[in-house]
Amino acid sequence: MSGDREGIVVYWRPLCTYCMKLFVNLRLARLPYSSVNIWKDRRAAEFVRSVADGNETVPTVTVAGRAMVNPSRRRLLEAVEEHAPHLLPRSGPGAP
């Protein structure tokens, strides 16, 4: 399991304030994402441990399959710009 190869996947768990902050930032940036609760998905928890030095550190995020552990908003946006620019909201003439 390495996440959506084209999009953003947030691996989270309940009561995680860092996760809630990240969800707000994703919504404010108008970025589409899917989320996986690692307390309900054993394979997702295993994936998080595999990229977080054996820890279940959340939020862990994949952007086009590339994992980041507890990324800042800036780091996440940079990863989207580099690896998944098709997810960025459009603006200007011709934008939906």
Q: Does 73 map to a domain?
A: yes
pLDDT band, residue 96 (cuts 50/70/90): very low
- Tell me the per-residue pLDDT of 21-61, one tens digit each, with 9 for 90 and over: 999 999 999 999 999 999 999 999 999 999 999 999 999 99
pLDDT of the residue at 92: 45
CATH number of the domain that residue 51 is part of: 3.40.30.10
- pLDDT of 91 > 70? The answer is no
Q: Does 39 map to a domain?
A: yes
Q: Three-state secondary structure along the chain? A: CCCCCCCEEEEECCCCHHHHHHHHHHHHCCCCCEEEECCCCHHHHHHHHHHCCCCCCCCEEEECCEEEECCCHHHHHHHHHHHCHHHCCCCCCCCC
Question: What percentage of the chain has pLDDT greater than the value 90?
Answer: 83
pLDDT of the residue at 90: 76
pTM, 2 dp: 0.87
Question: What percentage of the chain has pLDDT greater than the value 70?
Answer: 90
Task: Report the domain count for the chain.
Answer: 1
Q: Residue 44's domain spans which residues?
A: 8-83
Q: Does 12 map to a domain?
A: yes
